Amino acid sequence: MATVSRRSEMTKATSSITIPVLLLGCGGVGRHLLHHIVACRDLHSKMGLVLRVVGVSDSRSLLLVDDVATGGFEDALLTEIFRLKSSSGRCQLVKGAEVTTNIIKVAGLLGKLTGLSVVDCTASPETVHMLTKVIDFGCCIILANKKPLTCTIEDYDSLISNIRRIRFESTVGAGLPIIASITRVLGSGDPIYRIIGSLSGTLGYVMSEIEDGKLLSEVVLAAKSLGYTEPDPRDDLSGLDVARKALILARLLGWRIDMDDIQVESLYPKELGPNSMSTEDFLRTGILSLDRGIQERANAASSRSKVLRYVCVIEGSRCQVGLQELPKDSPLGRLRGSDNVVEIYSRCYNKSPMVIQGAGAGNDTTAAGVLADIVDLQDLFH
């Protein structure tokens, strides 16, 4: 077993650092993360780093190593974690209401003793208070879940009161280094005055297909059949998920705003929404009524040598999510397919922005971003 090291002075030689990890959420991202952690054992060992999974939970159960302070999982046990089963007396399974209580108990124990990284790969709006307690115990938290960052500004303030112990790269653009890059720019005193980005792979794809003359309904139905959209594509078309990402970026810039302060343009009107119409009806008839309007806007943009993109804009006092006409030869205008792109304008990146582009979704990529965040926290575990 690797030892938990503790740095007593700056000159101490590099020794192995152990980061105990407690994973919340066992969906696509959580499972990929566990796979990555196992696959990276040798790599991390060469870096003097040991990630030790001490527990995994889903919404109903928590599987813990019996003695979380000293024990560790072998690879074989990870197989059991995937099934959330108690294995041969070395793990304990907690269910129901006791899950949260036990997570806080483990955080209280390990936070003081060795430090703990609690990773939120759920999609739950319920974890924020637990995470705030966990960070107060001296633990680190890593989020793939956007919800704890898009809560009320008061809860947000409590959560991020110790900003060095929290990482959330994968909440915007999956593994793309958007948060990390903005954090670097801000920390260097280079003020960011404008962020504009295409932060939905689905809407990016839809808009570039419409640019090629296809109909919205045609593109959305094709994308849905390929599994590129949410089960109800209105969850993409509403822009709400982009708005959450915009809020995360705006708050990162220091804006004290809530979801309600963001102007969000939905691509469908209320009367075609989930409260008025089933998913099936929307896909069969409702969506067809949207084709003409958006095609006209795309054509109008094209007649001005521009293209229509679904973007978030954070600038001045405006945090806005919706369709924009953009120059064809800008990074956003040139965007094809489902890549995410963010343009960041600051004193140093003025005439020409800092641009970060690439795949902004997918379980593998998102989990890789989470793992990079955990690795980035290692200096706190000296």
Q: Which region, judged by CB under 8 A, interacts with a copy of itself, from 53-61, 107-115, 213-221, 265-273?
A: 107-115
What residues numbered 156-175 form the site for a copy of itself, per CB under 8 A?
A: 162-164, 169, 175
Q: How many CB atoms lie within 10 A of CB 185?
A: 18
Phi first, then psi, for residue 340 (nearest 5°) are: -90, 150
Report d(CA 379, CA 231) in Å as an integer.
41
What is the residue type of 166?
I
> At closest approach, how far in Å is the CB of 356 from a copy of itself?
6
Among 45, 59, 188, 263, binds a copy of itself (CB under 8 A): 188
Among 2, 5, 40, 266, binds a copy of itself (CB under 8 A): 40
200, 236 contact by CB (below 8 A)? yes
Residue 245 among the catalytic residues: yes
Q: Which region, judged by CB under 8 A, interacts with a copy of itself, from 61-69, 233-241, 294-302, 348-356?
A: 348-356
Report d(CA 56, CA 53) in Å as an integer.
8
Among 2, 28, 36, 123, binds a copy of itself (CB under 8 A): 36
Query: Do strands 354-359 and 339-346 pair parallel, antiparallel, or not at all (unpaired)?
Result: antiparallel
Q: What is the dihedral of CA 36, 42, 45, 50, to 10 degrees?
A: 40
Smaller CB separation from a copy of itself, 40 or 257: 40
Among 3, 15, 27, 43, binds a copy of itself (CB under 8 A): 43
> At closest approach, how far in Å is the CB of 208 from a copy of itself?
12
- Asked whether position 205 contacts a copy of itself by CB under 8 A, the answer is no
Phi first, then psi, for residue 108 (nearest 5°) are: -60, -40
* Max CA distance (Å), the chain: 70
CA 243 to each of CA 135, 283, 338: distance values in angstroms, whole numbers, following the listed order: 26, 23, 18
Report d(CA 81, CA 105) in Å as an integer.
20
Candidate list 12, 245, 306, 351, residue with the active-site label: 245
* DSSP class of 290: G
Smaller CB separation from a copy of itself, 63 or 178: 178
Residues that bind a copy of itself (CB under 8 A): 9-12, 14, 36, 39-40, 43, 47, 111-115, 137-139, 162-164, 169, 175-177, 180-181, 184-185, 187-190, 329, 331, 334, 336-337, 339, 347-349, 352-359, 362, 364-365, 368-369, 371-372, 375-376, 378-380, 382
Catalytic residues: 245
